[in-house]
A and B are shown apart, each in its own frame.
Chain A
């Protein structure tokens, strides 16, 4: 298996993931969308989707981080070495220049859906 093979070429469609009530508030789950590992969160009434890959530690663990807030913005802390990210932008608040890739998430008819985003 090569990791590049997991990267999508492009996905424009929304993929249904799970019922909304399968997401506990402030606790993430991992999902597999077209071979891409996505970390999904429900916090403060919003849904967020980011890459499950920890860009610093290099392991697929972001869905297991602690969700919280910093100065009012929703945050996610890496479970490996605790770097904190802004869930809205993906930017790391502790390491300038490091970011999580973001994806789109929404709820339709009680189902959580994700659309992969190709940034850059």
Chain B
């Protein structure tokens, strides 16, 4: 040994890191001021925030008016307060219920509220595994969709409500959640079918996926709203919303299938060989070995597709359904509130952002939870 050690070999204790590496000062130095480029970017960012934030906050909060009866009223209140008018949120406040419930009969709206809570209760055991009574909860999740369907549509003791009364956020949730819940199993089946050893099965799946992926969603929605009448026997009525639900589900299933196929292909061949060599049957291998891993790899892509699907629900405006965006545009026709499109669009944007951001965060949580490597 040429160098002298202060401790015998193997007995060097772990020392605390130097103070410049830890704490707030360490963090700031590492992340904000580590190099010239970094310093320039930090300073520029602070300047941009200084320019943008105050007017934005003024418009959204400090100069905004939250209750008024018309746009002129808004202006008057702002003037009385001695500032310029920011956002006139009073408009949204007055329209809030129609944004949420659409044209659903006022006296029946409790059914939507109840459905919403049932949906949350049904999602909990599916999304999180460390909750009490999860097993019973999953049974509830299985029957909840039917209960919710009954609540929303009525019949069997409840006043029937036709689906053309559906609208607003409630419509977004109905289409979005149905699409998500329906397209995942269908997508898994398509992905497995595409990898099947049976040529007929494979061809059907490939044809379906490629056809659906190759056609814009709007086209499919138009087909759903008009063309189906030509194919179906005359006299059959087929609810417009149901057609939309089917089309949206099929559309996103095709994308999900491709995302999952990516996950399936990323698995080493040894996994299925090990399962085979132990005598597991095809469906056992898929359920216990292959899909848990493939789905885990595919989480970012799956959630990405879901977020896309959720936002694409706004396209139903084109075939005459009133989602929040459609509701907002209809509200703009009100002469009392003319010219407040910014408020409407910001409000709808916030709603979509909150929904989609939650999905994104959940996907990160799931990835972290399922990480079993080093």
Q: Do A and B form a real pair?
A: no
A residues adjacent to B (C-beta < 8 A): none
